[in-house]
Structure 1
Amino acid sequence: MKKAAQWKAIAVVVAAVSLIAAGCSDSSSASSGEESLPVVKTWKVASTGSGLTANGKIAPSEEIQVVSKVSGKVAGVNVKEGSVVKKGDVLVTLEAADYQQQINQAQAAIAGAQAKLRDTKAGTRTQQLQQLSSGVAQAQASLKVSESNYNRMKALFDSGALSAAELEKATLDLEKARTGLEQSQAQYDLAKAGPTSDTVAALQAEVSRLNSNLELAKSSYDNTVIRSPISGIVAKRNIDPGEMAGAGSPLLIVVNMNEVNVEASVSQDQINSVKVGSTVDVKVGSLGGKVMKGTVEFVSPISDANSSSFPIKVNVANQDGQLRAGMVAEVVLQGQAEQGTKIPTTAVLEKDGKQYIYMVDQDVVHEVEVTVSNASGDWTTVTAGVKDNDQIVLNPTDKLSEGSKVIAN
């Protein structure tokens, strides 16, 4: 009986210990659930190059601010941001009624000046000459009457029968008659001779001046239609129908991106190694390290105002439109840029004949297929699938999969 009691006691103790152990096991597994995320070692992708390099930004080969030459209310805008336009396409139209009135006024002024010029060249009409001739005859008759009256008055004055005042009046009338005849004769002679060459030249000059005013009015009218100065893309639109467009104010920005310029700076120690017309490699990290050929088209003879580096411009073809203004590019001025991006070989995993890497983004793993151009030793060159600043897993295992959470180290 005692042995049976002892065995029962032992069994109770063992059961208690088992329950305690089970409780501890559950607690530890629950607490370790949050700490069981795999810790992975990562590597940050960075561009590599050889030789003399310079970093810069991509800018359009042409960037034009489209402005209005005249002021006016906007009647219509035919494009929006992103529209592809050709040189000469109508972009904006202004209300043109006021400018049409200026043309009408200029045309009327020209018509009046030309009529006056024609009359002057034609000379005085026969009827006008007859009238002027009659005026001369009347002046001659008046002079004879005045002379007879003076002679009679002079005789009376000499005999003492006429006062000096009355003789003076007769003398004044005689002088008036002579002056009147001279004026009438001069008018007749001038009309008969016709206009002088200077008079005709002055009238012709007035017609030319008014024609210039007409051309100016037509030019202002034509400028109410605003056309694209280049072929390209509308990058910015600053105007809408109904708004007032001021002369010289920018309405739109049109850029030509078929070719782009990489604007970079080179230190004073290296600037003499850069030659205009030389071919260089241009590497764009945001395009997976794609390498393109460019031509140095400008090397500044003066340095930046705030540094000792010298600006350069490299022209690059962009027919496919992949290059955008503001992208960062690396210009390899000496040596040759490597096509693609080098990453550690241990980061590449092969599945079903394809290569993959695991990229970590906010502690979440993403499986990314990559294109490998060359694998040599510790480094593999990838031409597609990665870009600068990507964080990739080194030595990935089969336990990783798309969407796995990890602790990056």
Structure 2
Amino acid sequence: MNGHKILTSGILIRRDFRHVVSGTLVTAAWLLCAACSSEKPPEPPTVSVQAAPVEKTAIQHVVEAQAILFPLQQAAIVPKISAPVQKFLVKRGSPVKQGQVLAVLENRDLSAAAQDTEGAYKQAQAVYETTTAANLPEEIRKAEADAQQAQQALDAQEKVFQSRQQLFEQGALPRKELDQSRVDITQARNQSDIAKQHLEKLMAIGKEQELKAAEGQRDSAAGKYRGAQAQLSYSEIRSPINGVITDRPLYPGEMAAAGTPLLTVMDISSVIAKAHIPQDDAAAL
């Protein structure tokens, strides 16, 4: 019994020691946590702030890139006709004005054609003015008189022929005179027919038709004259814009071909720059 008690007491003593150690550890851990929680956290750094008024302004973004300059206007002047260059009035770098003559092509044949058509036009104009001023009834009366006289001459020749034919049959007239009478009557008949046709024509067309015919001839001659003048003007090469001569590939005496640039004029008073920039920079523009 005593030995059992001692063992039991030993078990009790060990159990009490465990409780004491556990309580001590818990107390130490609590004290450590309390000590940690009692330390103050570090303060955040102070940030300095500067106040400024609110303003609305544009944000500048500079983009640098290589660019090619182009003129505001450019004209490659081509002749409408093929002819040798007679003379140049400008050279590379010469400033020019719109409408200024820059070069002259050989044009002697064109000048002669213009003079010829001018003469034809003036003639047609004179005919038109004469026709306009003419009095048609007077022309008709004259044509009637001419036709009447021609008919009377024909009647007279017929009577002469009949008389000579009788004399020839009687043997009192040679055949030569009878043949001559036949010729005379034929001529008289032709003259009478011509006079009648002229009268019929005047009666048919009338004043209005005669004026239209004269007007048509005049207009046709005027059109040919204007065409010749236009061809002559093509021999003078003029500038269509203000600018500077930048190219002149030919020399006087060389052949200028129609459709091939003879001179180049550029207006460099203002220029246009074309550049390639990255997509990101382009989106910010």
Q: C-alpha separation between the residues in 1 aligned to 2:198 and 2:266? A: 72
The runs of 5 or more residues in structure 2 that have no matched partner are: 1-59, 167-185
Aligned residue among 95, 112, 118 for 1:101: 112
Alignment of 1:135-154 (within 5 A): 135-141=150-156
1:218 Cα deviation after fit: 1.5
Aligned residue among 211, 215, 221 for 1:204: 215
The residue type paired with residue 187 of structure 1 is Q
TM-score, normalising length from structure 2?
Answer: 0.56
Contact 2:85 2:255 in 1 (8 A): yes
1:187 aligns with 2:181: no
Contact 1:85 1:232 in 2 (8 A): yes
Q: C-alpha separation between the residues in 2 aligned to 1:332 and 1:234? A: 37
- Structure 1 pair 227–184 and aligned structure 2 pair: CA distance change class (3 A): closer
Alignment of 1:283-322 (within 5 A): none
Contact 1:53 1:332 in 2 (8 A): no
1:61 aligns with 2:72: yes
TM-score, normalising length from structure 1?
Answer: 0.40
Q: C-alpha separation between the residues in 2 aligned to 1:89 and 1:229? A: 8
Q: C-alpha separation between the residues in 2 aligned to 1:140 and 1:256? A: 86
- Structure with greater helix share of residues: 2
Tell me which residue corresponds to 2:242. 231
- Structure 1 pair 101–332 and aligned structure 2 pair: CA distance change class (3 A): farther
Q: C-alpha separation between the residues in 2 aligned to 1:253 and 1:130? A: 71
After superposition, the C-alpha distances for 1:51-72 in whole angstroms (9 at most, x for unaligned) are: 9998653222222101112232
Q: C-alpha separation between the residues in 2 aligned to 1:63 and 1:51? A: 30
Contact 1:117 1:204 in 2 (8 A): yes
Moved more, 109-118 or 91-100: 109-118
1:243 Cα deviation after fit: 1.3
Aligned residue among 256, 273, 286 for 2:267: 256
Greater length-normalized contact order (CA 8 Å, ≥ 6 residues apart): 2
Tell me which residue corresponds to 1:291. none
- Structure 1 pair 188–213 and aligned structure 2 pair: CA distance change class (3 A): closer
For the residue of structure 1 that corresponds to 2:112, the secondary structure is: helix
The runs of 5 or more residues in structure 1 that have no matched partner are: 1-48, 153-175, 271-330, 337-409
- Structure 1 pair 90–128 and aligned structure 2 pair: CA distance change class (3 A): same
The residue type paired with residue 135 of structure 1 is A
- Structure 1 pair 253–189 and aligned structure 2 pair: CA distance change class (3 A): closer
Q: C-alpha separation between the residues in 1 aligned to 2:112 and 2:195? A: 47
1:194 Cα deviation after fit: 8.6
Q: C-alpha separation between the residues in 2 aligned to 1:90 and 1:181? A: 61
Number of aligned residue pairs: 205
- Structure with greater strand share of residues: 1
After superposition, the C-alpha distances for 1:384-406 in whole angstroms (9 at most, x for unaligned) are: xxxxxxxxxxxxxxxxxxxxxxx
1:107 Cα deviation after fit: 1.4
The residue type paired with residue 138 of structure 1 is A
Q: C-alpha separation between the residues in 2 aligned to 1:189 and 1:51? A: 94
Alignment of 1:234-383 (within 5 A): 234-264=245-275, 333-335=282-284
CA RMSD of aligned residues (A): 4.5
